[in-house]
Amino acid sequence: MGTVEGMHEVRSPYSGDVVGEVAEQTWDDMDGALDAAARAFETTRAQTAFERSGVLLAAADGIRKRADELTKLIVDEGGKPYKNAKVEVARAVSTLTWAGEEAKRFTGELIRLDTEQTAGGRLGLVRKFPLGVVLGISPFNFPLNLVCHKVGPALAAGNTIVVKPATSTPLSAVKLEEILREAGAGDALQVITASSQDAERAVQDERVAKISFTGSSAVGWHIKSLAPRKKVTLELGGNAAVIVEPDADLAHAADRVAYGGFYQAGQSCISVQRVLVHASVRDGFVDALVPRVEALRVGDPSDEETDVGPLIDAGALDRVDAWVREALDGGAKALCGAKRDDPCYLPTVLTDVRPDMKVSCNEVFGPVITLQTYETFDEALQLANETSYGLQAGVFTNDIEKVFRAHREIEVGGVVHNDVSSFRADQMPYGGEKDSGFGREGLRYAMDEMSEMRILVLSGIDL
């Protein structure tokens, strides 16, 4: 990991205790990592599918064997509740397993080119080739699995990758690098804990062929502006809407919203934020939802029964509290929560929220949801689209025509039927529209974005 000039303490957002240390690295370390990754590309680009798959499957097995250690690490460094951290580790195993399997299936196609009289006997062979060095910049909220979502497809497609993890949660990425090296990845993965300024400099470095960024919209679009000629994937913020129709199972919808709005303290870009409920079932839905939200256990993330842990830092807690107080001062009402319990914020359900309030039009990224009623499905679709974000949405209804209409008309990367926006399977295409991003993650889809397509035209072929 380069020359150590000092050590950076990683502290628990819940207790404030030091839970680990990583090297304080500089541009010299980043420069060395880019060089090492560029050299390693000469090896990875020539690997067979069998070799690429073998490394990734061995790494998946390495995570599986160290699941308890990694679960505790995620709890300690990010304050994620134990039950959610355990799921994240299992998903990381799945992500690298999918990557290893997709490495064997990653191929091209044959195209007939003898379709015009002048073309003669020609055949097109389309193949996908790795790009080179990928720069992956990952956030704090999934410190292991979102790194796997960058590392897995990069290595499966034959690239190398330099990862810059979030400053607040670097330990999981460092441990992943160790596991990949044990699996035989060598220098194909480099984890660098340098500054954001050094990462920004790397974005413009000629050795970087592809950038994969997950984080805030402002930073993501800035990064894209710095590298207009490079391939860039951006997975950014969200302001997810969930629609509850009159025919919905209200108990099921309430269960899922109580989960999807507050797991990880709402610190997920597909967390439920705006709940749109048909006026005819509003009271019944509220009666089902509020007791479920109030029953969520808030506090120590290491407690296996905890549902809602701390915000990542004091600044995030202050911001969420300020936004809620601003909404209440402006006429919104709290059905529950709306209080801080440092370093946590109590799960909050707000009503009578105006569209211009921050809790409605911006990404809260905290344990706060808003509740709004509508009269027609047309109105619900319009309200769902009244945001600059477009990542995912949920629709609770048994009317299949409405489901397909929602899929067609809600401006998001994914619509989830009879569930919340928070659902994600690691192999599915994942990404957003509008301010929510550019390009798609999800193993095979990310591999496409981390490769380039070339055609070989074969002449004189007797078809």
Instruction: Round to whole Å and give the CA distance between 442 and 453.
Output: 19
- Would you say 409 and 311 are in contact if contact means Cβ atoms under 8 Å apart? no
What are the extents of the domains in the chain? 7-236+436-457, 240-426
Q: Return the active site residues.
A: 235, 269
Q: What is the pLDDT of residue 2?
A: 41
- Would you say 315 and 284 are in contact if contact means Cβ atoms under 8 Å apart? no
Q: What is the CATH number of domain 240-426?
A: 3.40.309.10
- 132 φ/ψ sector (left φ>0, alpha ψ -120 to 50, else beta): left
**Strands across the sheet with 437-438, in order?**
189-191, 160-164, 133-137, 208-214, 231-235, 437-438
One pLDDT digit (tens) per residue for the chain, 463 residues: 444 458 999 999 999 999 999 998 999 999 999 999 999 999 999 999 999 999 999 999 999 999 999 999 999 999 999 999 999 999 999 999 999 999 999 999 999 998 988 888 899 999 999 999 999 999 999 999 999 999 999 999 999 999 999 999 999 999 999 999 999 999 999 999 999 999 999 999 999 999 999 999 999 999 999 999 999 999 999 999 999 999 999 999 999 999 999 999 999 999 999 999 999 999 999 999 999 999 999 999 999 999 999 999 999 999 999 999 999 999 999 999 999 999 999 999 999 999 999 999 999 999 999 999 999 999 999 999 999 999 999 999 999 999 999 999 999 999 999 999 999 999 999 999 999 999 999 999 999 999 999 999 999 877 7
Tokens, residue 314: 């004091």
Query: 57-89, pLDDT tens digit by residue?
Result: 999 999 999 999 999 999 999 999 999 999 999
- Looking at residue 432, what DSSP letter applies? -
Instruction: Round to whole Å and give the CA distance between 282 and 259.
Output: 19
Angle, alpha carbons 401-405-410 (nearest 5°): 150
Angle, alpha carbons 206-212-218 (nearest 5°): 100
Q: Which CATH class is domain 7-236+436-457?
A: alpha beta
- Would you say 414 and 428 are in contact if contact means Cβ atoms under 8 Å apart? yes
Query: 418-438, pLDDT tens digit by residue?
Result: 999 999 999 999 999 999 999
